[in-house]
Structure 1
Amino acid sequence: MSILFPRLLPSESDRIFSGIRGRAPSELSAQAGNSSLRAVFAATGGTRVTRDELRLLAATIEKLAIEAGYPDASSTAQRSQFDRAVARHLHQSSGMTPGEASQRQVWAFLGLVLVPHVCAWRFPMKDGTYVADRFKGSDLTRHTLARLWTRAHVLHDSAAPDPYALLDALGEADLDQVMARRRAIAATPTLVRAIVRAHVEDSNIGEDIPARAVLRDSLQRLLRLTAFLDLDWLPEEEILQLVREQRIESRKHLDVA
């Protein structure tokens, strides 16, 4: 049975977000909660998450943030630590299904009601203003928590000793390069896993050719291929071999350049 999460309607999301302008994470912590009188649930399709379950989820996310430096300013390494730990937990323990995870209003509730202080810490204000996408879920690839669940879901490998090991393989910027291409690449989990695996196993990159350059050039090549190839029907091993071939071509191109 799937778990249903509270949803904030767009007007309520706008109202709450407008109220956090200029407020520090410590101030937002005081208003965090596990319910809202203006939240709604899907009418059918599962069992509603309980307040106790939401309280536990919030406590765990906050604990992982504290381990990564919250409420103080964090380093790049600490932010990556937080992202990876929360991605694992959200996907493994929240009970959220892909259907619920596709709902922007679910993430608006989590970002604006459940843990607004953690979102504010992870993506601090610039010029006294927070970025709306990090809280409201208008773009799930940029929402503080939604992007993490999606990464864990796409990179999850149930056959591996550690099903979430691929989460640790790429840095934030490089993984963003992959996941931001939602339709052409990120929509095919086997392709995403193949890209990450090939990046990890590729030990032939010359010292004068940065791994990031090879990754990004090969992504452009894959984008051109996906314009006329349907990879959803290919076995995972064939997709991995295709990615390896594109990396080889990228190294040749970059070596000449």
Structure 2
Amino acid sequence: MIVLYPRLLPGEADRLFAELHDHPVGTHGTMVANHSPRAVFAATGGRRITRDELDDLRHAILTVAQEQGYPEQPGIAQRHAFDQRVARILHEQSLMVSGEAAQRQVWAFLALVLLPDVCVWRWQANADRRYLADRFKGSDLTRHSLARLWTRAHILHEPTAPEPYGLLDVLGEADLDQIMARRGSIAASSALVRAVVRGHRDDQGAIGAEATSRRILRECLMRLLRLTAFLDVDSMAEPELDHLVRMLRLESRTALQRSMS
């Protein structure tokens, strides 16, 4: 049965986001709750998630944060490890379906009611001591602190692979963002995104330095971006997509080698 999540009303999301700025760093735990009187559920379509289940989800994510140094400020490696593990937890443990995951108010509830302290730790205030609204309110789910992780795991999940979430470990934040940011082309096809990440993973033995690896990936994405303008990737099977990506990576490597010679 589909699990329905609380949806934080927009006015309450605005209020709680403003409240984030009233709390000194390290005190956002006082905002944590597993329910809100200003949250609603979809009227039909499944069962409502229980408060105990929300507590379990919070505990699992908080445990990962603590293992990565919470409440102390995380470094790049800690943030990366947190994102990888929490992406899997959100996709695997939340039992959230795509319809619920597409609701901005669901993610506003998770970030501002259930996990404000963790989200503030992961996405700290900027130099002006302001938090970015996109990371908490869900106005752009590709930038939301938690929604982006669920989406990443959902797209890269391979149910029949020996390690179904293995693709989450292949690329770093910056490189994966290069793929996911192309929402109208490459990232519009989950199968194509998986093919690109598999191609990068399987090609590592033929690549030297990390800088070269990144250049090959980005050159391949540029070539793929041009192709998707007239190529119907949705009609292609995953083996065909894998072959296409391998060919484009070969062309990219050859072009880069020529430019350096």
Q: Which TM-score tier does this pair reach, normalised by the shorter chain?
A: over 0.9
Q: Is the 8 A contact 1:7 1:39 kept in 2?
A: yes
Query: Whole-Å Cα distance in 2 between the matches of residues 139 and 170 of structure 1?
Result: 22
Q: From 220, 226, 241, give the equivalent of 2:222.
A: 220
Query: Whole-Å Cα distance in 2 between the matches of residues 88 and 69 of structure 1?
Result: 19
| Aligned residue number for residue 250 of structure 1 | 252
Query: Whole-Å Cα distance in 1 between the matches of residues 82 and 210 of structure 2?
Result: 32
Shift of 1:77: 1.0
> Identity of aligned pairs, percent?
58
For residues 38-61 of structure 1, the C-alpha deviation after alignment (integer angstroms, 9 at most, x for no partner) is 001111111100111111111111
- Structure 2 stretches lacking a partner, 5+ long: none
| Aligned residue number for residue 45 of structure 1 | 45
Shift of 1:166: 0.5
For residues 79-104 of structure 1, the C-alpha deviation after alignment (integer angstroms, 9 at most, x for no partner) is 11111111111111111001101111
Paired residue type of 1:227: A
Q: From 218, 239, 242, give the equivalent of 1:237.
A: 239
Query: Residues 101 and 208 (structure 1 numbering): CA distance in 2 closer, same or farther, change over 3 Å?
Result: closer
| Aligned residue number for residue 64 of structure 1 | 64
Q: Is the 8 A contact 1:20 1:28 kept in 2?
A: yes
Shift of 1:24: 3.9
Shift of 1:207: 4.6
Query: Whole-Å Cα distance in 2 between the matches of residues 209 and 117 of structure 1?
Result: 35
Query: Whole-Å Cα distance in 2 between the matches of residues 84 and 22 of structure 1?
Result: 30
Shift of 1:208: 9.2
Paired residue type of 2:241: I
Query: Whole-Å Cα distance in 2 between the matches of residues 208 and 124 of structure 1?
Result: 28
Shift of 1:224: 1.1
| Aligned residue number for residue 182 of structure 1 | 183
| Aligned residue number for residue 74 of structure 1 | 74
Q: Secondary structure at the match of 1:82?
A: helix
Shift of 1:204: 2.1
Paired residue type of 1:150: T
| Aligned residue number for residue 139 of structure 1 | 140
| Aligned residue number for residue 149 of structure 1 | 150
| Aligned residue number for residue 129 of structure 1 | 130
Q: Which moved more, 1:180-189 or 1:129-138?
A: 180-189
Q: How many residues align?
A: 257
Paired residue type of 2:93: S
CA RMSD of aligned residues (A): 1.3
Paired residue type of 1:115: L
For residues 231-253 of structure 1, the C-alpha deviation after alignment (integer angstroms, 9 at most, x for no partner) is 11111000011111111111122
Query: Whole-Å Cα distance in 1 between the matches of residues 149 and 181 of structure 2?
Result: 13
Paired residue type of 1:251: R
- Structure 1 stretches lacking a partner, 5+ long: none
The correspondence of residues 1-40 of structure 1 with structure 2, limited to 5 A, is: 1-21=1-21, 23-40=23-40
Query: Whole-Å Cα distance in 1 between the matches of residues 10 and 180 of structure 2?
Result: 25
Moved over 4 A (4+): 206-209
Query: Whole-Å Cα distance in 2 between the matches of residues 153 and 142 of structure 1?
Result: 15
TM, length-normalised to structure 1: 0.96
| Aligned residue number for residue 195 of structure 2 | 194
Q: Secondary structure at the match of 2:206?
A: coil
Query: Whole-Å Cα distance in 2 between the matches of residues 208 and 116 of structure 1?
Result: 35
